Chains A and B, each alone.
Chain A
Amino acid sequence: MRTDRDIMNAIILTAIWGVVMMLAGAFIQNKRIPKYLAISGILLILVANCWELYTGQTLFSVDLKDMIHLNSFNLAFISIALICTLMYFLLSGRDFEKVGTHVAEYFALIFFILCGVSLVATFNTLLILFLGIEIMSIPLYILTGSDKRNLKSNEAALKYFLMGSFSTGIMLMGIVLIYGGNSSASFYLNQIHLGVGKMPVMIAAGLVLLMISMSFKVSAAPFHFWTPDVYDGAPTVFTAYMASVVKVAGFFAFMRLFENAFGTIQPQWQNLVVIITAATLVIGNFTAVFQQSVKRMLAYSSIAQAGFMMLAIFAMNLAAKEGLVLYAAAYSLASIGIFAILIKMKDYTISGFNGLAKEQPVLAFAATVFLLSLTGIPLTAGFQAKFYMLLAAINTHHFVWLVILAVGCAAISAYYYFRVIQAIYFKESTDTEPHIWDVTLAFKFLLLLLVAVIIILGVKPELIIDWLHYFPLP
């Protein structure tokens, strides 16, 4: 069906559309047009990607020497990332204008990130992984610092850039060590020789370095320290994207790397993942409890959610792979929704949400559903996602304490998510000023649409799971 001369639509189209957006920024003065241009671009790429998923046909033909691996699993993941981005553009696209004047460039950078996402979702050599991670990260450094006059934004960008380049360096070192220690002289993931019996020292060292740098990218403890500051300092619109699509793309890459390259020696690195998972769960959840700012709380909660997604890396079975994509969708959608509401708030503290239910019942209801989904209450997508993670982790029959820890942490997460719900519904606001910047009817409608998607996925997660297996996995 496919030949190695094919290349995925999404990779090329996102890159082209990024350039289109940049040019648009140079030629179009109107502030609204870039948003519509970006939305139509995403729709185009989404159609092209789904077309490829269902028919196997591509628009471009380049010989890639099998450096990219295509199957319905990867393509479905990219489609999910595209759908999330579409929702993100629709909900928060107008808020780009508040950050600065270069609206078209911001959209362009997001398209480049998507190009990176497409690469990390399909890489078949460590080289492409490296390219994908870098293409994903560099636009993010820029976006983090895009609020040029804000010191916090500048600080966050610098911090992110320095820490990010460090982790890039570590990743590169890991890749070099692995290729150096690889006796087969092949670059493909599944052809790396891991040695018989004992792992060669160079491979082992490379593996650990790769794990560290990937943990950094997905903000797993103890490599999470950049996350709260960067998420807090970045303009909230871009935090939304960082905390949703970019993060889950990182996880998808993490999983594909360790499954395809090191899946056969899983017992040898599983302990390491267990430690990272446990630390991430505990640190994320316990620190989130003490936050007073919702934005910072969501930053820590994203670490906590990363802990849950780490369970997929730990388990690495079919339920884990399916569950991770489901988790990616559930978590991204809920995060995009809750951040879209947060952007509209004047006060980011938890008490800033007081009395929201009276003022904006639709926003209050939507925010509640997103928070319930993040907590993992049945009937929302978040429950199904957590359910798959637990299922996968228990199915390994090892490390029962890790699963119990995860469950305990999920109970703690209810504490901080419900504090926001309490503020929305049960606390009265003291000041008479409205809490919210203007919201349009379309915005409310889109929020309700997002709520509907989350509930549908909560009842019927198979909509995504079946999509992943549209073609049997090779």
Chain B
Amino acid sequence: MEKLHGWISFPDLLIWLPLISGLVTFMLRKDKQVKAWSLFASLLTLAVSVLSLVYANDKILNYVSWKWLSTLGASYSLGLDGVGHILSFLTAVSFPLIFAATYKSEYKHSQAFYGLMLLTQAGLMGVFCAMDALVFYFFWELALIPVYFLCSRWGGEKRIQATFKFFIYTFAGSLLMLLGIIVVYLHTNNLMDAGGNIIAPHSFSINAFYDVAARLEPTKQYWLFGLFFIAFAIKMPIFPFHTWQPDTYEQAPAATTMVLSGVMVKMGLFAVIRWLLPMFPAAVDHFGYIVIGLSVIGMIYASLLAMQQDDLKRLVAYSSIAHIGLMCAALFANKQIGTQGVMIQMFSHGINIIGLWIVIDQIEKQTGVRKISQLGGIAHKAPALTIMLVVIALANIALPLTNAFVGEFMMFTGLFKYNVWVTAIAGLSIILAAVYTLRMIQHVFYGEVNTLTATMKDIPNSVKWVLGILLVMIFVIGVYPQPLFDLTKDTVASLLTRFK
């Protein structure tokens, strides 16, 4: 084990900053203090994250490993590689935006709300930085607990049941993953220190896992693949494990929904990239077509359902299932260009969907409803909101020049190389997405002004700024995605070499 690290590193900061500031938040008393403090804390985290991108190639600053449970062979190992950088940056950038966009929202016990939000951020960062299976499992669960409390306490009417379903689902999934982790762990070799002495009979380190798992006999790989995949599929979610998702998104408070759909679902995709694909190449070859099949079925199914929805939140929830399905299919198709596309799309999807939620939140705050059938003519009343929304919605259906176009184009190319028919069916979802998105824009923003929307005002400046920043990111990535390619090139390359 190399001991090549300094006293402080970026992953450490990214986890501990939100964690400690979250705990501090619980002790604050005044609403204003709480909001200002959590915004400040999340901006600080963002600054660290930007710095980590600047020094992305510095191994000493980006990797850290301390002794933790040495008799078991688990160590507190964190690290940021390409995909880790992208997702930790997404996490870092989305929280200040979410806090700013919902700055006017009132919460009972706001210190607890913001404290839990920051703890969620810490958990997410931990998942994206973990380089040790046990650490990964720890953070995987820890990200869930604050979200459970956030949704159950501040959510909508049916929040308790909806969140409970979500919790039990994901908890069951992660326990299966824990089994998988233990099985792989028991196959690893002795953990040696620098002098060649045996510290522990086995090891939880990611490299040991990569080495061992790929060499297991195929039948064992298949079983383990199943254990891990169910956990990740529930989190993403992939059809048929998606039933918790629309309910939870609908019932969760707006700020939490943004975290859930913008960042948290990426945990599933990330885990596939970080653990599943490199560990079980044989099983991926063997089951890949099933996963792709499920993903494509999910895409079409979710798109069809999205067309039927009257509730804006549920519409976005189903459209998210479709998008995630495409990413998952592209990952399992195992083509270089598709995998590269997923890296970009994970970031883009996070940005776009947070934008959509912000718009919906604004509409709901002003009119009190989210029903498409009850809204109309918002464009006359709130032109700025409408412009922003139209751009974000078009980005969501992957129009050229926007960020999602780059990702989706590459993913479809990857999928095309895998199988033409699958691509053709999956392609239908693009058309369906255009249908439901444009229908939504038409009904909600154009048409007659009714009594509900007559009193609407345009959005406050703070929200304008947030949406403006999102728009800038949408166009910058849409036109010049090269930095993201450079960042993830190595991850993609090392991922694909495992399949040769």
Q: Which residues in A have some Cβ–Cβ distance to B below 8 Å?
A: 372, 377-379, 383, 387, 390-391, 394-395, 403-404, 407-408, 410-411, 414-415, 418, 422, 425-427, 460-462, 465-466
Chain A residues, CB < 8 A from B168: 411, 414-415
Q: How far is the CB of A293 from chain B (nearest CB, A)?
A: 20
Chain A residues, CB < 8 A from B160: 422, 426-427
Pick the most buried of A395, A408, A411, A425: most chain B CB atoms within 10 A of its CB. A411
Complex Cα distance A394/B181, Å? Answer: 11
Total cross-chain contacts (CB, 8 A): 62
Chain A residues, CB < 8 A from B71: 462, 465-466
Checking B70, B138, B164 against A379 with a beta-carbon cut-off of 8 angstroms, the contacting residue is B138
Chain A residues, CB < 8 A from B183: 394
Instruction: Indicate whether A379 sits within 8 Å of B178 (C-beta atoms), given known contacts A418-B164, A418-B167, A465-B71.
Output: no
Q: Provide 20 A-B residue pairs closer than 8 Å at the C-beta atoms, listed in order of the A residue.
A: A378-B141, A390-B182, A394-B179, A394-B182, A394-B183, A394-B186, A407-B176, A407-B178, A410-B175, A415-B164, A418-B164, A422-B152, A426-B152, A426-B153, A426-B159, A426-B160, A427-B160, A461-B69, A462-B70, A462-B71
Q: Which residue of B lies closest to A358 (CB)?
A: B109
Chain A residues, CB < 8 A from B70: 462
Q: Does the CB pair B69–A462 fall under 8 Å?
A: yes
B137 within 8 A of A: yes
Q: Does the CB pair B167–A391 fall under 8 Å?
A: no
Q: Does the CB pair B186–A395 fall under 8 Å?
A: yes
With an 8 Å Cβ cutoff, the count of chain B residues facing the other chain is 26
Complex Cα distance A360/B411, Å? Answer: 53
Chain A residues, CB < 8 A from B186: 391, 394-395
Checking B138, B152, B153, B179 against A404 with a beta-carbon cut-off of 8 angstroms, the contacting residue is B179
Complex Cα distance A390/B186, Å? Answer: 11
Q: Does the CB pair B182–A391 fall under 8 Å?
A: yes
Complex Cα distance A383/B140, Å? Answer: 13
Chain A residues, CB < 8 A from B69: 460-462
B142 within 8 A of A: yes
Complex Cα distance A431/B138, Å? Answer: 39
B475 within 8 A of A: no
Q: Does the CB pair A422–B171 fall under 8 Å?
A: no
Instruction: Indicate whether A378 sits within 8 Å of B142 (C-beta atoms), given known contacts A403-B179, A408-B172, A461-B69.
Output: yes
B145 within 8 A of A: yes
Q: Does the CB pair B178–A411 fall under 8 Å?
A: no
Q: Does the CB pair A407–B175 fall under 8 Å?
A: yes
Pick the most buried of B145, B160, B168, B175: most chain A CB atoms within 10 A of its CB. B175
Complex Cα distance A410/B172, Å? Answer: 8
Q: Does the CB pair A378–B167 fall under 8 Å?
A: no
Chain B residues, CB < 8 A from A407: 175-176, 178-179
Q: Does the CB pair B152–A390 fall under 8 Å?
A: no
B156-187 with Cβ < 8 A to chain A: 159-160, 164, 167-168, 171-172, 175-176, 178-179, 182-183, 185-186
B241 within 8 A of A: no
Instruction: Indicate whether A425 sits within 8 Å of B152 (C-beta atoms), given known contacts A387-B178, A394-B186, A411-B175.
Output: yes
Q: Which residue of B lies closest to A404 (CB)?
A: B179
Q: How far is the CB of A56 from chain B (nearest CB, A)?
A: 24
Q: How far is the CB of A363 from chain B (nearest CB, A)?
A: 16
Q: How far is the CB of B275 from chain A (nearest CB, A)?
A: 17
Pick the most buried of A408, A415, A418, A465: most chain B CB atoms within 10 A of its CB. A418
Interface membership of chain B positions 415-451, coded 1 if the CB is closer than 8 angstroms to chain A and 0 otherwise: 0000000000000000000000000000000000000
B37 within 8 A of A: no
Chain A residues, CB < 8 A from B141: 377-378, 383
Chain B residues, CB < 8 A from A377: 141, 145
